[in-house]
């Protein structure tokens, strides 16, 4: 297989590149990334002999078509996206530009070149949110009800992907995944944010709705799911990827502080983000029953491994501090 991994220097993308390079050493991998504030070529350190890195923007259709053709790419795995909900509240335009128009541009390039497979990475958040005490979950048949600019931009991208399958016969698959965590995640997201704050004895900003829940999946388990979809998935189909394990923001803070031997004095309640979703939970029966996927990393172990990774890799995350455009503990500053 000859893969183009877009967003390949981001969190999940770089973990996938590492995973695929190890599991499929004979395959050719090109990692593409625009290297915005959250992109980090250092995420691919050590892979220089096995992976070709290209700085590029999926919105540049001609450039993408040229790259696909020159590199004889047969499979595209599209991670490229603006993904921080908080930033989307402040600057929604960049999310629709990259996530919707960028995806459409990449789809068009893939169609013109004749790509053999286009796999698109999406999110549980396109389905909307659930009541905290609900016994419901989102299946692949659930209607899309996005509530935030980020969620809406990802929903728009998903619709574009399906339209290119229905209209042009482009061989696509889609995975909608729950919240990922693990190494190389930019320290604006909640687990690395709380961990790096705790490691430096700074306050952990908990949104006022501290019991809002997310479903959590260790990033390597997401990689195995994508691998199975590429190898066994049915073209035109969508697969939900979820662990079934939920934890609130309060649970996350307590888990990180406890692992570092720290107390509640580092927790600080801050105003909720506008449009803050309450809860997401995916029904992943389809990928489990049809493709035989199941997560391997239990949440407690995964959280321990993640906290340990950030503890041991301060040289990686220290230079990234201050690059995020969002101040999670100061929404009045964000609105200026």
Task: Locate 224 and state its tokens.
Answer: 């195995």
In this predicted structure, what is the pLDDT of residue 333? 57
Alpha-carbon separation of residue 212 from 10, 178, 208, 255, 306 (angstroms): 26, 14, 9, 16, 21
CB 124 within 8 A of CB 282: yes
For 4-60, the pLDDT digits (tens) are 999 999 999 999 999 999 999 999 999 999 999 999 999 999 999 999 999 999 999
Task: Locate 229 and state its tokens.
Answer: 């979809």
Give residues with Cβ within 8 angstroms of 206, minimum separation 6: 249, 250, 253, 267, 268, 269, 270
For 100-159, the pLDDT digits (tens) are 999 999 999 999 999 999 999 999 999 999 999 899 999 999 999 999 999 999 999 999
Task: Locate 13 and state its tokens.
Answer: 């993308």
Q: Is the pTM of this model over 0.85?
A: yes
Residue 164 has pLDDT above 70, yes or no: yes
Q: Domains in the chain, ordered, with CATH?
A: 2-180+216-244+276-299 (3.40.50.720)
Alpha-carbon separation of residue 192 from 21, 102, 246, 265, 316 (angstroms): 25, 27, 18, 19, 12
For 188-220, the pLDDT digits (tens) are 999 999 999 999 999 999 988 888 899 999 999
Residue 330 has pLDDT above 70, yes or no: no
- Confidence at 85, pLDDT banded by 50, 70, 90: confident
């Amino acid at each position: 297989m000859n893969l183009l991994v877009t967003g390949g220097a981001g969190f999940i993308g770089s973990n996938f590149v590492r995973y695929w390079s190890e599991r499929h050493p004979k395959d050719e991998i090109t990692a593409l990334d625009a290297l915005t504030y959250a992109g980090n070529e250092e995420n691919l350190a050590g892979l220089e002999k096995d992976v070709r890195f290209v700085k590029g923007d999926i919105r540049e259709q001609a450039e993408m078509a040229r790259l696909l053709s020159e590199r004889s790419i047969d499979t595209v795995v599209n991670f490229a996206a603006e993904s921080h909900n908080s930033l989307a509240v402040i600057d929604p335009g960049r999310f629709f530009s990259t996530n919707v128009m960028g995806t459409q541009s990449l789809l068009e390039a893939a169609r013109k070149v004749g790509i053999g497979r286009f796999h698109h990475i999406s999110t549980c958040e396109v389905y909307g949110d659930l009541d905290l005490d609900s016994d419901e979950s989102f299946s692949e048949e659930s209607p899309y009800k996005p509530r935030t600019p980020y969620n809406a931009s990802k929903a728009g991208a998903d619709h574009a992907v399906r339209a290119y399958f229905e209209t042009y016969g482009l061989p696509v698959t889609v995975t909608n995944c729950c919240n990922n965590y693990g190494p190389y995640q930019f320290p604006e997201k909640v687990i690395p944010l709380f961990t790096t704050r705790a490691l430096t004895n700074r306050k952990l900003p908990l949104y006022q709705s501290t019991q809002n829940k997310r479903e959590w999946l260790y990033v390597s388990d997401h990689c195995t799911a994508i691998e199975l979809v590429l190898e066994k998935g049915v073209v035109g189909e969508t697969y939900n990827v979820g662990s079934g394990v939920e934890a609130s923001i309060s649970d996350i803070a307590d888990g990180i502080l406890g692992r570092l031997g720290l107390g509640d004095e580092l927790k600080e309640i801050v105003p909720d983000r506008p449009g803050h979703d309450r809860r997401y939970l995916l029904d992943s029966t389809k990928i489990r029953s049809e493709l035989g996927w199941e997560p391997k990393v239990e949440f407690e172990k995964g959280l321990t491994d993640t906290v340990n990774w950030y503890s041991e890799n301060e040289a990686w995350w220290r230079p990234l501090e201050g690059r995020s455009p969002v101040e999670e503990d100061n929404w009045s500053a964000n609105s200026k």
